[in-house]
Amino acid sequence: MSMRTHILRLIALWLCGAALSHAADKPNILVIVSDDQGYADAGFQGSKQSVTPHLDALAKSGVRCTSGYVTFPVCSPSRAGMLTGRHQSRFGHENNPVYDPLDEKEGLPLTEKLLPQFLKDAGYRTGWIGKWHLGSAPAFVPWARGFDESFGFIGGGHRFTGWQPNGRQYTLPLIRGGKDISDVPTHLTTAFGEEAAGFIRRNKEKPWMLYLPFNAPHTPHEPSAERLEKFSQIENPQRRRYLAQISLLDDAIGVVTAALSETGQRERTLIFFFSDNGGHTPSGSDNNPLRAMKGTLYEGGVRVPFLVSWPAKLPVGATFDQPVSSIDVFATALAVAGVAMPADRKYDSVNIVPHLSGEVKTPPHERLMWRMSKKQSFAIREGKWKLVRNGDGAPELFDVESDVAESKNVAADNADIADRMIAALEAWNKELIEPVFPGSSVKNEDWGPGGANQKNAPNKKPGNKE
């Protein structure tokens, strides 16, 4: 070997080592989303019925955000806002897309670049495991939107056990790597946890981003028999099944966090956990002490259990009371990955790490705002004040710091505050656009198999026109 060749090899090895060292400096990013989880339904939220030791441990390892919100009170728009860093009504994603692999309009608009696409460009390995619900035509599916690895289902819901794979949304074949698989796991929640742990182990030598949206505890509630037996003391059968589903979800999350610890990645992994929207109380969830539920802009629809953990950078066992939002995942992830926020359009996301760490004392957001139901319902939170306007009804104003249950409308006594907040909503609404696909209405939201949002697509595969 010539001296020149030897030197070139040494330089190549040094550059490789430098690249690996730089990659190791970038934290992993894990976003865990539950589906329709009630505000009270976790031990760290004070529940005496929901058994969640793994989520409770996650809360103790990081920051519990007591005013954690999502951008919409139903599934798909909430997820669209989180993955884009933009309020979903800025690009017309204000409905749940109907499942139809041949419909090229029903899905997260292609005008938007998603978080995994930015992180992939920055050298991250990206994965999606779980529920998608952001469009089923070929252009909308996860492997077309920046995810290197994929496992889950494309529609808005799914059976948990014992289904026969077919073309119906809740019994679709699972997908791995963009292709249908025939496997039917013993329990879907457990399968998602094990798949996520495998992703973590496979990619331990490089920075990664994993989006892990479970479909538990969304209906249909199909817990295992042994888990259901553990909640036999609960008299209400719907509540009993729901709590068993929560327990299985918690175990799956425990499998994921154990894989992080076993592979030495826990300290350098930034974890978000929250529900995609408020609980659906007729299905067994508990939103106490909040008002109302999923599908409304009261606190029970948009305020959710919310955790952020990053042992290397954030406080342990802390609480943070200022409002934060699931939309903040986007800017936070880009910031910790060393990626500049794009400047080509309006973004609503904020890097919340400096706020959670105490480095920045001001609130992350001056205000949070919501719009739904074809512009008929609006809400805004500004400091301690929350204003809700439903259709042609008079605006309601609440002090949600002293009245988290939104039980006392104080608009008449604070007309100046209500007027200011209404003016802010009206100005913001002018920045938004009309919905770009009809989707399924909130009133007809699919709570389970046979729901209104289950358009048949026989013999059609998600992401494949053939």
Closest CA to 50 of 254, 230, 204, 199: 230
Angle at 351 between CA 345 and CA 384, to 5 degrees: 100
Torsion of CA 193, 198, 204, 210, to 10 degrees: -50
Round to whole Å and give the CA distance between 250 and 153.
20
The answer to whether 416 touches 380, Cβ cutoff 8 Å, is no
**Position 380: which residue type?**
I
Write out the H or E segment, with its range, that includes residue 69.
strand 68-69
Q: Is 133 a catalytic residue?
A: yes
Sign of CA dihedral 58, 62, 64, 68: negative
- Catalytic pick among 54, 87, 93, 133: 133
Any catalytic annotation for residue 75?
yes
Backbone angles phi, psi at 415, to 5 degrees: -60, -35
Residues 6+ apart with CB under 8 A from 339: 118, 119, 121, 122
Which one of the listed residues 75, 218, 221, 355 is annotated catalytic? 75
Is-contact 93 176, C-beta < 8 A?
A: no
Max CA separation in the chain (angstroms) = 87
Positions annotated as catalytic residues are 75, 133
